[in-house]
Amino acid sequence: MTLLGIDTGGTFTDFVLWRDGVLRVHKVPSTPSAPEQAILHGVRELGLDPAGLVVVHGSTVATNAVLEGKGARTAFVTNRGFADLLTIGRQARRELYDLQPQPVPAPVPPELCLETGGRMAADGEVLEPFSDADLAALRESVRRLGAESVAVSLLFSYVDDGAERRIAEALAEVPAATGGRAGESGDATGAGPFVSLSSRVLPLIGEYERGIATWLNARVGPVVSGYLGRLRAGLPGAKLSVVSSSGESVAAEQAGAQAVRLLLSGPAGGLAGARYVARASGIDRLLTFDMGGTSTDVAFVGEVPRLTLEGRIAGLPVAVPMVDMHSIGAGGGSIARADAGGALQVGPTSAGAEPGPACYGRGGRLPTVTDANLILGRLRVDDFLGGRMQLDARAARAALAALARDLGLTAASPRALAEAAARGVVDIVNEHMAQALRVISVQRGIDPGGAVLCSFGGAGGLHVCALAEALGMDRALVPERAGVLSALGMLAAPPGRLLTRAWLGPLGARTDAEVAAALSALAAEGVDALRADGVDVGELLREDSVDLRYAGQSHTLNLPWRGAAETAAAFREQHLARYGHALELAVELVNLRVRLSVPARAPARPPEVEPPPDGRARGATRPLRTRVVDCDAPVPVFRRSMLAVGGDVAGPALIVDEVATTWLAPGWRGRRDRFGNLLLERD
């Protein structure tokens, strides 16, 4: 089997090819306007025949569509009296004490908010029947508005989805504005608009969060479906899957109908890759930071990555299950500038792939973090991407010197002026990332000192030592092929489904048999979906869990289901550990969750590295030394592939490979293990 993992980033598109036990990596510049073009270009450069190829990739198409406010013209359908549901939201204010806040634009224009009948109570009682006249009026409104997509979110639809299903069937008769598709959550069952049903997208309590998720799914669904269709057409005969935000891979044929579940597709693959390589190296607690060209994603990974139902994107809640991570606009391409007060700012604006940092030589003139690392000597002009891309130090120096003048800096020479600005840029971006890591660890009650800092992404290795020191951590991991780890993680992500359904009621009122039957019914839906993906469910793994809370609370804790008594006791213990107190209140069951998966396509462990040729190692491999700013003497440069397994390297040193560079700072030591991973320890 030939496996190809692909991660589409803002600057580069990464490839990991696994064939006959051998890994091969590749990078090409991303094509943001048409992401599939970079993928097809990379496949051609790798010389691959799509027929028989197994491709798993992480897509940023849904994320970018939401962030950029793009997508289909979408009508929002709900019950009478609730047309303003998404506009009112939770009435949360971004600035609590601002008495004159700026108006926030409504997510959906009022003219696209439609009301209809079919209202239910929380117990399923029909309060307002759903009539044929309601259906006829709804069809006419959708036709008149020229809606390309429709989001249907009726109250309490997770109790009974009959009314929503009738709407989907009726809208199949409406001519689509742009030749869209109708059906439950976008299934191609007619010629009408793309339709998303809240009972399919997010069958949970919380009408606002369910409505937003359904609307987002409808808005970006046609965009994602179109992209996946073009990609499938460009890879005839390939088996194509996409990694979901919760870390499972889903067949491309099914993924378009659940576009909202792809918003953290790439980052979820990165966490799967980090867990995959760390487990091989005997590490089970990680703080991860994935620093690419545009952004940095940070997370905590234990036995499995944490999931959350409280994710946000573009200021909107996204309550579908997704990996619990924090993202900031800090990457290698983040642009540095002097603000109106003369202070140095870095990011969140990025130079992206076109034109990219000044040192890329593609016409960029603004200074970036990558330019700063080059000027500080932590990147080498002839070692970027394994020497396949030459960097322009003169352009980087000019950009940083201009920044220094904007900041009012002075120095004895133009070189010193650029270096002074470069120090400031790196210090600022390091502090941004350190703060993000504190959010995901200290603010969640996790001691960073008990974990290993795992860096990946093209720029991560340049900052790992500084971030570990800022967090009081003594150990770090820079995986083999760290620059393309997210692409490797796509292959390590198991085919599967994560299903969640509301089932609200006192835990004590449910028997163990009733809960077990409800979980089994939910699992059956997932098994059917996996079979539709063409997945062999013979080795199916199933994990049952429940979301619990004290009566009267709004937030929940997720725990494995072990029977009512044992699970309730575990809930009280976890609540005490998380919040510092326990309550003498009844425990409520809120949601059921079932995770189904089969073994990942990648082998159980990454391949072991081969020894350097002719027994060469460390100093004998590359007796090159280079100038690094603020180091008293030139520092050695090592090729990672030439380091002996188990041998130590003392900082300061540069360790280069074909996709990334690691800056081993003074006071740190590095050791390469048998899987090629660099294990760093502070002296």
What residues have CB less than 8 Å from 22, skipping those under 6 apart?
607
Cis-peptide into 267, omega within 30 deg: no
Residue 668 has a pLDDT of 96
Does the pLDDT at position 531 exceed 80? yes
Six-digit token string for 635 = 């520092």
What residues have CB less than 8 Å from 342, skipping those under 6 apart?
406, 407, 408
Does the pLDDT at position 612 exceed 70? no
Residue 182 has a pLDDT of 41
Q: Where are the beta strands (DSSP E) in 307-400?
A: 307-308, 311-313, 316-318, 322-323, 325-328, 334-338, 344-350
Does the pLDDT at position 198 exceed 90? yes
Residue 153 has a pLDDT of 96
Residue 67 pLDDT grade (very low, low, confident, very high; cuts 50, 70, 90): confident
- Kindly provide the b/e burial profile for residues 646-666, where b requires at least 16 CB atoms within 10 angstroms of the residue's own CB: eeebebbbbbbbbbbbbbbbe
The residue-averaged pLDDT of 4-13 equals 86
Summarize pLDDT for 287-312 with one digit per residue, the tens.
999 898 878 889 999 877 888 888 88
Summarize pLDDT for 165-180 with one digit per residue, the tens.
999 999 988 886 654 4
Does the pLDDT at position 208 exceed 90? yes
Does the pLDDT at position 621 exceed 50? no
Residue 154 has a pLDDT of 96
Residue 152 has a pLDDT of 96
CB 418 within 8 A of CB 375: yes
Does the pLDDT at position 233 exceed 90? yes
> Is the model more confident about 605 or about 85?
85
- 460 residue type, one letter: G
Residue 481 has a pLDDT of 87
CB-facing half-sphere around the CA of 65: CA atoms within 13 A: 26
Residue 579 pLDDT grade (very low, low, confident, very high; cuts 50, 70, 90): confident
The residue-averaged pLDDT of 491-508 equals 92
Least confident span in 287-301, 505-519, 611-625: 611-625
Residue 223 pLDDT grade (very low, low, confident, very high; cuts 50, 70, 90): very high
Name the region of 304 (left: φ>0; alpha: ψ -120 to 50; beta: rest): beta
Cis-peptide into 652, omega within 30 deg: yes
Residue 429 has a pLDDT of 95
CA dihedral (523, 529, 532, 533) positive or negative: negative
Residue 616 pLDDT grade (very low, low, confident, very high; cuts 50, 70, 90): low
Alpha-carbon distances of 546 from 444, 614, 622, rounded to whole Å:
21, 56, 55
CB 55 within 8 A of CB 6: yes
Residue 184 has a pLDDT of 40
Instruction: Calculate the average pLDDT of the chain.
Output: 89
Residue 613 has a pLDDT of 59
Total-model pTM: 0.85
Helix (H) or strand (E) holding 28: strand 22-29
CA 401, 376, 470: angle at the middle one, nearest 5?
115
Residue 623 pLDDT grade (very low, low, confident, very high; cuts 50, 70, 90): low
Summarize pLDDT for 182-196 with one digit per residue, the tens.
444 434 344 689 999
CB 367 within 8 A of CB 402: yes
Summarize pLDDT for 316-353 with one digit per residue, the tens.
889 999 998 888 888 888 999 998 888 999 988 888 76
Cα 289 to Cα 557: distance, rounded to the nearest angstrom: 25
Give how far the C-alpha of residue 674 lies from the chain's centroid of Cα atoms, to the nearest Å: 29
Highest average pLDDT, of 1-15, 182-196, 248-262, 602-616, comes from: 248-262
Q: What percent of the chain has pLDDT over 70?
A: 95
Residue 266 has a pLDDT of 85
